[in-house]
Amino acid sequence: MDTLQKPGDVKVAQGSGMELPVFDDVKMAAIRIAGKAFRTPTIESAALNDRLGGRVLIKPECLQRTGSFKFRGAYNRISQLGNDAKDGGVVAFSSGNHAQGVAAAAQLKNVPALIVMPQDTPQIKVENTKGFGADIVFYDRASEDREKIAKKIA
């Protein structure tokens, strides 16, 4: 992969349709999520230090709001939506951590959220997602395409 020459340069992964973030994007994301995402600690692992021959720090994102790092990305992205997009709400598909992250971020930003989830999603994930105020549409993994469902709703 090519290296970036200066802030603002964007490289695109071949065929992905996605722009890769640059350092300035990461700094801006940190500003947007400050005060909303928890500042989780870093924990040093002596066992990993010894095994790998260097200092290893672990960031336990299980202590994050919603229990995973997914909230960070969801809040960052929803924070960038314009007013019209916010009024229209957000649609996502997930059976777990991403669903909860989107639902929690949307709730904090007062944006309606609809999550497309498989019918066999664990009940605790369904309840947590609903608890953050999201509506849920269920689908059958064996016979339905979650991406098509989400696009149709959006």
Q: pLDDT tens digits, the chain, 154 residues: what are they?
A: 333 344 444 444 455 567 889 999 999 999 999 999 999 999 999 999 999 999 999 999 999 999 999 999 999 999 999 998 999 999 999 998 999 999 999 999 999 999 999 999 999 999 999 999 999 999 999 999 999 999 999 8
Residue 60 lies in a domain: yes
Active-site annotation holds for 70:
yes
Residue 14 lies in a domain: no
133 and 113 Cβ atoms separated by less than 8 Å: yes
Q: What's the whole-model pTM score?
A: 0.83
pLDDT of residue 152: 94
Residue indicated by tokens 């340069």: 9
Helix (H, G, I), strand (E, B) or coil at 116: strand
Residue 3 lies in a domain: no
What CATH number has the domain bearing residue 145?
Answer: 3.40.50.1100
Neighbouring C-beta atoms of residue 88, cutoff 10 Å: 13
Active-site annotation holds for 152:
no
Tokens of 148: 């098509």
**Identified catalytic residue from 70, 79, 94, 125:** 70
Residue 18 lies in a domain: no
Q: Indicate the number of domains in the chain.
A: 1
Residue 4 lies in a domain: no
Find the domain containing 149 and state its range. Answer: 23-153
Residue 66 lies in a domain: yes
Residue 35 lies in a domain: yes
Residue 7 lies in a domain: no
Q: How far is CA 113 from CA 38, 153, 154, in A?
A: 21, 11, 11
**Identified catalytic residue from 79, 94, 95, 125:** 95
d(CA 131, CA 14): 39
Tokens of 58: 């672990």
153 and 114 Cβ atoms separated by less than 8 Å: yes
